[in-house]
């Protein structure tokens, strides 16, 4: 496999047992679709670049993996496999827990080729229209300190949308006692480590 990064080798080896074959497969498909791809690590997880532009990325968590296209919001999605909007915050293919959750190699290569064409045409990441100014979300120092002790949980929280982060903050700060607050923080960190939102139990399962 050409243009590999040893840091990604290490990332894969250190991942949970279920995640290793998933990450290896995704990596191999990306290289098959784009022989000129360059591997790198950004924000502590693997990214793949084409012509110095991010093509896609992958990540592993405690109970699932994620895969996303940098220009996913501009892709046509004829097979209906992409999750967009807030639900794409942890990957366009949803929660990947086994190889069965990944589209066929033929379909995935088709999407990777489309992403490459977008880069060839000079497409850029779309800038979201500025929303009305919101009051900055104040994250309690005790919660932020606890999050920073768990890298995956911290990354998930920081990459979540404003509304998802607010749900966690409100749940924790509304606790009536210190004991309840600490219990909620422990649960929150465990869920965030797995890439889950505060109300994940009520979300529609990914296809």
Alpha carbon distances (Å) from 12 to 9, 45, 60, 61, 114 = 5, 10, 8, 11, 26
pLDDT at 137: 86
Task: Give me the helices (H) in 15-80, please.
Answer: 19-33
Residue whose C-alpha is closest to residue 59's, from 87, 31, 29, 96 = 96
pLDDT at 207: 46
pLDDT digits (tens, 9 = 90+) for 91-140: 899 899 999 999 999 999 999 999 999 999 998 877 655 555 566 888 99
pLDDT at 39: 96
pLDDT at 85: 58
pLDDT digits (tens, 9 = 90+) for 171-192: 999 999 999 999 999 999 999 9
Q: Give the mean pLDDT of 55-59.
A: 95
pLDDT at 132: 59
Q: Give the mean pLDDT of 45-68.
A: 94
pLDDT band at 202 (very low <50, low <70, confident <90, very high): confident
Strongest mean pLDDT among 15-19, 70-74, 153-157: 15-19
Return contacts of 148-153, CB within 8 angstroms, 24+ apart: 150/189, 150/192, 150/193, 151/44, 152/61, 152/62, 152/192, 152/193, 152/195, 153/188, 153/189, 153/190, 153/192, 153/193
Residues belonging to the chain: 207
Q: Which domains does the chain have, with CATH numbers?
A: 6-120 (3.90.1150.200), 141-202 (no CATH)
pTM exceeding 0.95: no
Distance, in Å, from the CA atom of 188 to the CA atom of 166, rounded to the nearest integer, reads 12
pLDDT over 80 (residue 148): yes
pLDDT at 136: 80
pLDDT digits (tens, 9 = 90+) for 2-53: 678 999 999 999 999 999 999 999 999 999 999 999 999 998 999 999 999 9
């Amino acid at each position: 496999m050409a243009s590999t990064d040893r840091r990604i080798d290490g990332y894969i080896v250190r991942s949970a047992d279920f995640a290793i074959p998933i990450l290896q497969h995704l990596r191999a498909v990306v290289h098959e679709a784009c022989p000129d791809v360059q591997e790198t690590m950004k924000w502590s997880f693997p990214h793949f670049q084409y012509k110095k532009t991010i093509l896609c990325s992958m990540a592993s968590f405690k109970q699932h993996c994620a895969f996303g296209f940098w220009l996913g919001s501009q892709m046509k999605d004829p097979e209906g496999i992409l999750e967009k909007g807030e639900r794409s915050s942890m990957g366009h293919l949803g929660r990947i827990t086994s190889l069965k959750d990944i589209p066929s190699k033929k379909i995935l290569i088709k999407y990777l080729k489309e992403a490459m064409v977008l880069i060839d045409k000079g497409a850029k990441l779309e800038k979201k229209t500025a929303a009305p100014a919101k009051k900055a979300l104040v994250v309690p120092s005790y919660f932020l300190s606890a999050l920073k002790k768990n890298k995956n949980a911290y990354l998930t929280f920081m990459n979540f949308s404003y509304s998802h982060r607010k749900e966690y903050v409100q749940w924790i700060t509304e606790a009536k006692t210190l004991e309840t607050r600490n219990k909620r923080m422990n649960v929150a960190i465990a869920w965030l480590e797995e890439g889950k939102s505060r109300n994940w139990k009520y979300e529609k399962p990914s296809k």
